[in-house]
Amino acid sequence: MAFKTDIEIARAAQKKPIQEIGAKLGIPTEALLPYGHDKAKIGQDFITGLKDRPNGKLILVTAINPTPAGEGKTTTTVGLGDGLNRIGKKAAICIREASLGPNFGMKGGAAGGGYAQVVPMEDMNLHFTGDFHAITSAHNLLSAMIDNHIYWGNALGIDERRVVWRRVMDMNDRALRDMVVSLGGVANGFPRQTGFDITVASEVMAILCLASDLADLERRLGDMIVAYTRDKTPIYCRDIKADGAMTVLLKDAMQPNLVQTLENNPAFVHGGPFANIAHGCNSVIATRTALKLADFVVTEAGFGADLGAEKFMNIKCRKAGLAPDAVVIVATVRAMKMNGGVAKADLGAENVAAVQKGCANLGRHIENVKGFGVPVVVGINHFAGDTEAEIAAVKEYVAALGSEAILCRHWAEGGAGIEDLARRVADLAEGGSADFRTLYPDEMGLMDKIETIATRIYRAGSVTADASVRAQLKAWEDAGYGNLPVCMAKTQYSFSTDPNLRGAPEGHTIPVREVRLSAGAGFVVAICGEIMTMPGLPKVPASETIRLNDAGLIEGLF
Report the residue number, 201 or 330, with the smaller CB distance to a second copy: 201
CA 391 to chain CA mean position, Å: 29
Smallest distance, Å, CB 75 to a second copy? Answer: 24
- Nearest-angstrom CA–CA distance, 177 and 168: 10
Phi, psi values for residue 105, rounded to 5°: -95, -80
Q: Does residue 73 have a known ligand-binding role?
A: yes
Report the residue number, 188 or 433, with the smaller CB distance to a second copy: 188
Report the residue number, 500 or 549, with the smaller CB distance to a second copy: 549
Residue 481: name the closest of 531, 426, 518 by CA: 518
Q: How far is CA 168 from CA 84, 139, 196, 203, 204, in A?
A: 39, 7, 5, 10, 10
Give the DSSP H/E element, type plus range, for residue 300. strand 296-300
CB-based contact 181:194 (threshold 8 Å): yes
Q: Which stretch binds a second copy (CB under 8 A): 226-234, 368-376, 517-525, 545-553?
A: 545-553
- Nearest-angstrom CA–CA distance, 378 and 425: 10
- Nearest-angstrom CA–CA distance, 515 and 532: 15
CB-based contact 268:289 (threshold 8 Å): yes
Smallest distance, Å, CB 227 to a second copy? Answer: 13
Site for a second copy in 202-231 (CB under 8 A): 214, 218
75 is catalytic: yes
Q: Is residue 130 involved in binding a second copy (CB under 8 A)?
A: yes
Q: Is residue 544 involved in binding a second copy (CB under 8 A)?
A: yes
Q: Does residue 67 have a known ligand-binding role?
A: yes
96 is catalytic: yes
392 is catalytic: no
Q: Which stretch binds a second copy (CB under 8 A): 83-91, 129-137, 270-278, 393-401?
A: 129-137
User: Which residue in the set 148, 462, 464, 483 belongs to the binding site for a second copy (CB under 8 A)?
Assistant: 148
Q: Is residue 437 involved in binding a second copy (CB under 8 A)?
A: no
Site for a second copy in 163-202 (CB under 8 A): 169-184, 187-189, 193, 195
Q: Is residue 35 involved in binding a second copy (CB under 8 A)?
A: yes
Smallest distance, Å, CB 145 to a second copy? Answer: 6
- Nearest-angstrom CA–CA distance, 366 and 362: 6
Q: Does residue 136 have a known ligand-binding role?
A: no
Q: Is residue 529 involved in binding a second copy (CB under 8 A)?
A: no
Rg (CA), the chain: 23
196 is catalytic: no
Q: Is residue 106 involved in binding a second copy (CB under 8 A)?
A: no
Report CA torsion sign: 386, 387, 388, 392. negative
Smallest distance, Å, CB 123 to a second copy? Answer: 8
CA atoms within 13 A on the CB side of 356: 8
Smallest distance, Å, CB 159 to a second copy? Answer: 16
Catalytic residue among 411, 495, 523, 558: 411
User: Which residue in the set 23, 50, 87, 126 belongs to the binding site for a second copy (CB under 8 A)?
Assistant: 126
CB-based contact 125:103 (threshold 8 Å): yes
Q: Is residue 51 involved in binding a second copy (CB under 8 A)?
A: no
Q: SS3 sequence, 116-142?
A: EEEECHHHHCCCCCCHHHHHHHHHHHH
303 is catalytic: yes
Residue 429: name the closest of 377, 496, 385, 472 by CA: 377
Strands 523-527 and 486-489: parallel
Report the residue number, 251 or 344, with the smaller CB distance to a second copy: 251
Q: How many residues does the chain have?
A: 558
Q: Does residue 71 have a known ligand-binding role?
A: yes
Q: Which stretch binds a second copy (CB under 8 A): 69-77, 87-95, 151-159, 376-384?
A: 151-159
Catalytic residue among 12, 29, 53, 107: 107
502-536 CB burial, b ≥16 within 10 A, e <16: bbbbeebebebbbbbbbbbbbbbbbbbbebebbbe
Smallest distance, Å, CB 236 to a second copy? Answer: 14
Q: How far is CA 491 from CA 108, 314, 412, 500, 502, in A?
A: 21, 18, 31, 10, 11
Q: Does residue 81 have a known ligand-binding role?
A: no
Catalytic residue among 165, 268, 383, 523: 383
299 is catalytic: no
107 is catalytic: yes
Site string for a second copy, 66-105 (x = CB under 8 A): ----------------------------------x---x-
Q: Is residue 161 involved in binding a second copy (CB under 8 A)?
A: no
Q: Is residue 251 involved in binding a second copy (CB under 8 A)?
A: yes
Report the residue number, 165 or 383, with the smaller CB distance to a second copy: 165
232 is catalytic: no
Binding-site positions for ATP read: 67-74
Can you say which residues are annotated as belonging to the binding site? Answer: 67-74
Catalytically active residues, by annotation: 73, 75, 96, 107, 275, 303, 383, 411
